[in-house]
């Protein structure tokens, strides 16, 4: 088995232009998976972010609390992380953590001080628990999966 093929993609934030407000975050159910990676994509940023964090809750629609927060938690290089700045156009922030470090539902929270900022996010759930294998496109969170066949 190729382990990256035993993962599921979930849109966490639809591509949106955020202006002086929070983006439209989508809750992600982590049930059945052991690891979360949320990629936050920034396009043109007219202003700095004032909040960027992953949160979790026991219930869908419940009260979400922080799991990882930019400008509070450290990076993998052991440096203090930062909020995306106005000159961080076309960059990616990545949040990574095991599901044992959070509650069942996770959600990205992103807030901009002022001005329009383009943002989108994709969460990859991996290490499906048990012996399950995600074999279909829909099980993996996709409309279609295109793959080059392995030569015989």
pLDDT by residue (tens digit) across 85-143? 989 999 999 999 999 999 999 999 988 877 788 889 999 999 877 656 788 889 888 88
125 vs 95: CA distance, rounded Å: 12
CA distance between the termini of the chain: 17
Q: What value, to the nearest 5°, has the Cα angle with vertex 72 and ends 38 and 60?
A: 45
51 vs 29: CA distance, rounded Å: 22
108 vs 71: CA distance, rounded Å: 15
Cross-strand bridge partners of residue 8? 125
Q: How many Cα atoms are found within 13 Å in the side-chain-facing hemisphere of 74?
A: 4
**Domains detected in the chain:** 3-128 (2.60.120.1110)
pLDDT by residue (tens digit) across 21-79? 666 688 999 999 999 999 999 998 888 888 899 999 999 999 999 999 998 898 988 88
pTM of the model: 0.88
3-state helix, strand, coil in the chain (%, to 5): 5, 50, 50
Question: What letter would DSSP give residue 22?
Answer: B
Exposure of 103 by Cβ count < 10 A (0-12 exposed, 13-18 middle, 19+ buried)? Answer: middle
């Amino acid at each position: 088995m190729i382990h990256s093929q035993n993962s599921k993609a979930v849109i966490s934030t639809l591509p949106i232009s955020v202006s002086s407000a929070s983006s439209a975050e989508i809750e992600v159910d982590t049930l059945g998976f052991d690891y979360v990676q949320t990629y936050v994509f920034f396009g043109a940023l007219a202003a700095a972010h004032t909040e960027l964090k992953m949160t979790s809750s026991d219930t869908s629609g419940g009260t979400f609390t922080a799991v990882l927060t930019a400008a509070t938690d450290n990076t993998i290089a052991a440096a203090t992380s930062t909020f995306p700045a106005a000159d961080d156009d076309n960059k990616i922030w990545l949040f990574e953590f095991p599901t044992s470090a959070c509650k069942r539902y996770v959600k990205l929270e992103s807030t901009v001080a002022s001005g329009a900022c383009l943002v989108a996010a994709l969460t990859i759930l991996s290490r499906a628990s048990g012996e399950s294998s995600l074999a279909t496109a829909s099980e993996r969170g996709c409309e279609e999966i295109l793959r080059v066949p392995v030569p015989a």
